[in-house]
Amino acid sequence: MPIIYLSPSTQEWNQYVTGSGSEEYNMNLLADALVPYLLSNGIQYTRNTPDMTAASSIRQANQGYYDFYLALHSNAAPEGQYGELRGIIAFYYPGSAQGQRAAELIAEELRAIYPLPDLVTTRATTTLGEVRLSRAPAVLVEIGYHDNYADATWVEGHMDAIAQQLARALTRFFGLPFIYPMDPVTGTVSVSYGTLNLRSYPSSTGTIIANMPNGASVRIYGEWQGWYVVHYQGHVGYAAAAFIDT
């Protein structure tokens, strides 16, 4: 199953014009909203912490093996245009085909909910370290302008919707079905013989990740067409719901 590095902004000095808090604060709220969608869709993650910086986040990510790097930010207009600009920009590194593909998917999904869809764009950049230095395909998405009152209030009032669209983009990127979050429950494997396969995709043709014996305790985070998204002993995958009691 895919694993991403999730990097909400650590810029506590960039304040929202609404007075709701900083870019760091609001992007961490967005990351909080995204986590249930990641869990329900079998996407594992490592997340930075507010005491880190963009540089230390990149270093941490590059010490591991991630399938994708997602940086969450909000934007600010340059001097002389304070409060005048709106829009969403998904940045990627030029030459990264996978980064560009992910940026386009994110932009496409966010256009569905942003009030000015023509202002949701993608852009190649060599100046942003989080896309330039990441070993994994990376996107830094600037979600609205926090110095623009309309954008700031839109972000604050649409955390769950933004998180859902980001998750939809990620599932499309990884070729997975999108699954709405559910309240996690504990289940027990119930097979009459052998073991229950934990697979990489909700299909009998999905690669087997682990074998779960009868009576094994699992944590269930989502359900899709007769399959559960299951966490089992550090593994994450799909298992046939018919063989798990809840």
Give the range of the structural domain holding residue 234, as residue numbers without chain letter. Answer: 185-245
pLDDT tens by residue, 190-244: 999 999 999 999 999 999 999 999 999 999 999 999 999 999 999 999 999 999 9
Do residue 166 and residue 230 come from a single domain? no
Q: With cut-offs at 50, 70 and 90, classify the pLDDT of residue 95.
A: very high
Spell out the residues 6+ positions from residue 155 whose beta carbon is closer than 8 angstroms to its own. Answer: 26, 30, 74, 143, 144, 146, 162
150, 55: one domain:
yes
Instruction: Give the tokens for residue 36.
Output: 């249930």
Q: What is the CATH number of the domain that holds 191?
A: 2.30.30.40
What pTM value is reported for the model?
Answer: 0.96
pLDDT tens digits, 41-50: 999 999 999 9
pLDDT, tens only, 151-200 = 999 999 999 999 999 999 999 999 999 999 999 999 999 999 999 999 99
Q: Pick the closest to residue 114 from 142, 78, 154 (CA basis).
A: 154
State pLDDT tens for residues 65-83.
Answer: 999 999 999 999 999 999 9
100 Ramachandran zone, left/alpha/beta (phi>0; psi -120 to 50):
alpha
Note whether residue 196 is domain-resident: yes
